[in-house]
Amino acid sequence: MSKATLIVRKAAVRPEQVVDAVVLDHAARKAATGRLSASGGTVFDLALEKTVQVEDGDAFRLDDGRLVAVKAAEEALLEVRAGNPARLVRLAWQLGGSHVPAEVGPDVLYVPESAAELVRGSGCSASPVTRAFKPEKEAHDHSTCGHDHSHDHAHHHHDHGQAHDAALDSHGHRHDAHGHAHHGHHEPHDHDHAGHDHHDH
């Protein structure tokens, strides 16, 4: 039985190495272990070291070097829209707080049908649709597999730096303290200089 222990991210997938494709819903794309059957008949055991979010277009690398592409399955979803964008933002915040997966578009949210009650109380309109579901990655997803890890890690570090700088700018304490210390540095200098002039006189 073939085994897959690595994920190849979409950008690094070589079509000539892909021998089959497996169709998975969003929940199955987060599984670390299990037996999978691809569309062309390839059966393999998934044995990842940790739970990793696998995206549409990624591939599992088998122990013999072959790749099995991952396709996002079509799922029953709700297409959520609102005349007031603030309602969508508020709903997205509530969904995140309830750990409900959501796919975010420019003016639309896609959520599982199970979130119907939460959507109903938001003032947004919802229509049932069937489509591939590609929810946003969770904030704590620190995948160690493939190209996406390096990109996500660098992006996270960049965001942290921005947030840190913004916090300092908005508070202003460190900036003011620096300015005060700088001013104090010149006062002794001016005093010494004045003392020197007095001596010459």
Q: Which CATH superfamily is domain 2-72 in?
A: Urease metallochaperone UreE, N-terminal domain (2.60.260.20)
Q: Which of 76-90, 163-177, 180-194 has the highest mean pLDDT?
A: 76-90
pLDDT classification of 194: cutoffs 50, 70, 90: very low
Calculate mean pLDDT across residues 139-146.
46
Q: What is the pLDDT of residues 24-67, one digit of tens each?
A: 999 999 999 999 999 999 999 999 999 889 999 999 999 999 99
Please indicate whether the domains covering 2-72 and 74-132 agree at the CATH topology level: no
Residue 184 has pLDDT above 50, yes or no: no
pLDDT classification of 139: cutoffs 50, 70, 90: low
Calculate mean pLDDT across residues 180-199.
44
pLDDT classification of 22: cutoffs 50, 70, 90: very high
Provide the CATH number for the domain formed by 74-132 in this structure. Answer: 3.30.70.790
pLDDT classification of 103: cutoffs 50, 70, 90: very high
**DSSP 8-state assignment for residue 81:** E
pLDDT classification of 168: cutoffs 50, 70, 90: very low
Closest alpha carbon to 59 in 7, 97, 94: 7
Q: Which of 104-113, 151-160, 172-181 has the highest mean pLDDT?
A: 104-113
| Domain residue extents for the chain | 2-72, 74-132, 147-194
pLDDT classification of 177: cutoffs 50, 70, 90: very low
Percent residues over pLDDT 90 in the chain: 61
pLDDT classification of 138: cutoffs 50, 70, 90: low
Q: Tokens 């969508």: give the residue.
A: 88
- Which has the minimum average pLDDT: 52-56, 149-153, 191-195? 149-153
Residue 154 has pLDDT above 60, yes or no: no
Q: For helices 173-200 and 147-171, give the axis angle rounded to 10 degrees.
A: 60
Mean pLDDT for all residues in the chain: 78
> For residue 117, what are the CA distances in angstroms to 38, 85, 90, 95, 125?
35, 20, 15, 11, 12
CA distance 189 to 182: 11
Sheet holding 43-47, edge to edge: 18-24, 67-72, 59-62, 2-8, 43-47, 33-37
